[in-house]
């Protein structure tokens, strides 16, 4: 410490005393300067320019302000150690000076060694105090940080996955846990959710922190502070951590809600499918069985009357039985993917295309490029049902007359493109896709395939499916 060169500012209105003290301090290896100014407005620029490590302050300045008052004004804005200089040791003045917590008190008659020792000890104490203050700030920041994170964890735990609750309670938590000034407003927006804590929006200072999911901004935390002095500083990192946690939990909640919606839609689809099967059984197979029952009753009555020439009725009965068998196979094809495993993916598609033409009179063209090899029936089954659903959507919603299915293999990867010449989707349907598109996307996700859909430039609708290498089999 003895070898440290200190920048020392002497505030003294006696030019001879100031010059003598400056010379002595410089002789001891310090960098000392003096000023005769004694008003705070003129002292502040000097302090800003000199950046002193320590100030020697004459208590008895001849201006309107005393050295004690000037020292008080300085330390309110700058943490600079101050040593008082006085010509006498008046008890009343000393008691007044003590209230300002000075780092020393020197008589102007003190010898050089005493002055140097007092300055050295004062600087050492100021460094010790500075470290304590920095540690206190750091620990206080840690406490605020822990309080904030603990509070946020409690909010998330108690939220029952309600984003409205999380945003509301987080907005209330931030100013309290970070010790922000009274009047601070917090505003959190996330997609369609919005919450503001305190309605006044002061304009002194503000900070905005984005909330992101997968690097995409979905919301923002805005903090508006009713103070032109207070600065958030390092607490900005805490706000960023809060935004990150909100983003992560939002992603989890969105995924959970999406899964719930998907499960609900799957149940609806299952119910629709059950009803369709019931209608199929009633309208087709049921009518055939009813006809068979009627013919059998006729044959029974003719037999009871000893009329044994029933060849015509038996032929009709055989036709009905064959029709019933065909209907059973058609219904079974809709219920089980076994046909894909037994007949192959391409053969199943060709059979599907043929039945589409027979039933709806819609041309369904299949084009294959490359060698599409089948190894995994689950993947092929999901792709088959995606294509089948796409065809149904094209006919039912798009009123398409022609559907093209192009399947190509490039270096083991499989590309599938389904296009039609129908009406496509309206803007509202594009913004809120129906069940069919969601189920197709869900099936694509199951097999790690990329799924893209949209209207064609001219007319119709397209679906693109990309399957990575070795993920597809026929």
pLDDT digits (tens, 9 = 90+) for 51-105: 899 999 888 877 677 888 888 888 888 888 999 888 877 788 788 888 888 888 8
- 238 with 191, same domain: the answer is yes
pLDDT digits (tens, 9 = 90+) for 116-148: 999 999 999 999 988 998 898 888 878 878 888
- 109 with 192, same domain: the answer is no
User: Alpha-carbon distance 17 to 6, whole Å?
Assistant: 20
- 114 with 14, same domain: the answer is yes
The CATH number of residue 207's host domain is 3.30.450.40
- 229 with 248, same domain: the answer is yes
- 341 with 462, same domain: the answer is yes
- 117 with 191, same domain: the answer is no
**Orientation of helix 67-77 relative to helix 91-98, angle to 10°:** 10
pLDDT of residue 331: 64
User: Alpha-carbon distance 217 to 255, whole Å?
Assistant: 17
Radius of gyration of the chain (CA): 43
Q: Which pair of tokens denotes residue 456?
A: 């064609």
- Domain of 81? 7-133
pLDDT of residue 473: 46
For 45-49, 83-87, 135-139, 280-284, which range has the lowest pLDDT when averaged over its residues?
280-284
- 436 with 374, same domain: the answer is yes
Q: What is the DSSP letter of 456?
A: -
Of 138, 64, 147, 55, nearest to 102 (Cα)? 55
**226 — phi, psi (to 5°)?**
-85, 60
Question: 325 in a domain, yes or no?
Answer: no
Of 46, 43, 39, 50, nearest to 6 (Cα)? 50
pLDDT of residue 474: 44
Question: 330 in a domain, yes or no?
Answer: no
- 235 with 116, same domain: the answer is no
In this structure, are residues 54 and 42 in contact, taking their beta carbons and an 8 Å threshold? Answer: no
User: Alpha-carbon distance 90 to 68, whole Å?
Assistant: 14
Neighbouring residues of 88: CB distance < 8 A, sequence distance ≥ 6: 107
Domain boundary among 116, 133, 150: 133
The CATH number of residue 386's host domain is 3.30.565.10
Q: Cα–Cα distances in Å, from 22 out to 17, 46, 114?
A: 9, 16, 15
pLDDT digits (tens, 9 = 90+) for 199-258: 555 555 578 899 998 888 999 988 887 665 456 666 788 888 889 999 998 889 888 888
Q: What is the DSSP letter of 2?
A: T
User: Alpha-carbon distance 11 to 38, whole Å?
Assistant: 7
Q: Which pair of tokens denotes residue 11?
A: 């505030």
Question: 271 in a domain, yes or no?
Answer: no
By three-state DSSP, how is residue 463 classified? strand
Handedness of CA 87, 88, 92, 95 (dihedral sign): positive
Whole-model pTM? 0.47
- 11 with 60, same domain: the answer is yes
Domain boundary among 195, 218, 253: 253
Question: 127 in a domain, yes or no?
Answer: yes
Question: 171 in a domain, yes or no?
Answer: yes
User: Alpha-carbon distance 224 to 203, whole Å?
Assistant: 7
Question: 313 in a domain, yes or no?
Answer: no
- 181 with 116, same domain: the answer is no
Q: Considering its fold, how many domains does the chain have in total?
A: 3
Sheet with 461-467: list strands edge to edge.
363-369, 402-410, 413-420, 461-467, 450-455
The CATH number of residue 85's host domain is 3.40.50.2300
- 119 with 23, same domain: the answer is yes
In this structure, are residues 33 and 22 in contact, taking their beta carbons and an 8 Å threshold? Answer: yes
- 458 with 414, same domain: the answer is yes
Question: 472 in a domain, yes or no?
Answer: no
User: Alpha-carbon distance 152 to 245, whole Å?
Assistant: 9
Domain boundary among 104, 133, 162: 133
Question: 402 in a domain, yes or no?
Answer: yes
Average pLDDT, the chain: 81
Of 432, 431, 418, 405, nearest to 460 (Cα)? 418
């Amino acid at each position: 410490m003895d070898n440290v060169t200190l920048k020392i500012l002497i505030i003294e209105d006696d030019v001879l005393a100031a010059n003598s003290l400056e010379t002595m301090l410089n002789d001891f290896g310090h960098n000392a300067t003096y000023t005769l100014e004694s008003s705070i407005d003129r002292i502040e620029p000097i302090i800003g320019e000199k950046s002193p490590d320590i100030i020697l302050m004459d208590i008895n300045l001849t201006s309107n302000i005393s050295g004690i008052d000037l020292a008080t004004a300085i330390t309110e804005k700058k943490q600079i150690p101050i040593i008082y200089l006085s010509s006498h040791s008046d008890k009343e003045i000393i008691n007044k000076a003590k209230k300002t917590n000075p780092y020393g008190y020197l008589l102007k008659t003190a010898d050089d060694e005493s002055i140097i020792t007092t300055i050295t000890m004062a600087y050492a104490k100021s460094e010790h105090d500075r470290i304590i203050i920095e540690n206190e700030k750091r620990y206080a920041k840690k406490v605020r940080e822990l309080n904030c994170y603990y509070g946020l964890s409690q909010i998330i735990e108690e939220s029952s996955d309600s984003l409205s609750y999380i945003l509301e309670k987080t907005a209330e938590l931030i100013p309290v846990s970070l010790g922000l000034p009274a009047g601070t407003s917090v505003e959190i927006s996330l997609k369609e959710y919005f919450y503001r804590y305190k309605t006044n929006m002061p304009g002194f200072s503000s900070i905005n922190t984005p909330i992101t999911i997968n690097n995409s901004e979905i919301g923002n935390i805005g903090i508006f502070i009713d103070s032109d002095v207070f600065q958030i500083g390092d607490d900005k990192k805490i706000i960023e951590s809060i935004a990150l946690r909100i983003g992560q939990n939002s992603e989890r909640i969105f995924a959970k809600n999406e899964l719930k919606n998907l499960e609900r839609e799957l149940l609806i689809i299952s119910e629709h499918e059950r009803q369709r099967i019931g209608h199929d059984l009633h309208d087709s197979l049921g009518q055939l069985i009813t006809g068979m029952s009627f013919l059998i009753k006729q044959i029974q009555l003719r037999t009871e009357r000893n009329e044994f020439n029933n060849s015509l009725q038996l032929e009709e009965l055989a036709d009905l039985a064959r029709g019933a068998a065909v209907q059973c196979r058609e219904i079974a094809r809709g219920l089980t993917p076994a046909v894909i495993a037994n007949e192959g993916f391409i053969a199943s598609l060709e059979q599907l295309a043929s039945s589409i033409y027979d039933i709806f009179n819609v041309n369904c063209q299949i084009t294959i490029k490359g060698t599409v090899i089948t190894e995994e029936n689950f993947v092929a089954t999901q792709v088959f049902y995606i294509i089948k659903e796409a065809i149904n959507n094209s006919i039912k919603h798009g009123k398409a007359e022609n559907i093209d299915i192009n399947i190509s293999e490039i270096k083991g990867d499989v590309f599938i493109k389904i296009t039609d010449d129908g009406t496509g989707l309206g803007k509202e349907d594009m913004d809120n896709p129906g069940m069919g598109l969601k189920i197709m996307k869900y099936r694509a996700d199951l097999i790690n395939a990329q799924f893209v859909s949209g209207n064609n430039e001219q007319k119709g609708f397209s679906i693109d499916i990309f399957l990575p290498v070795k993920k597809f089999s026929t």
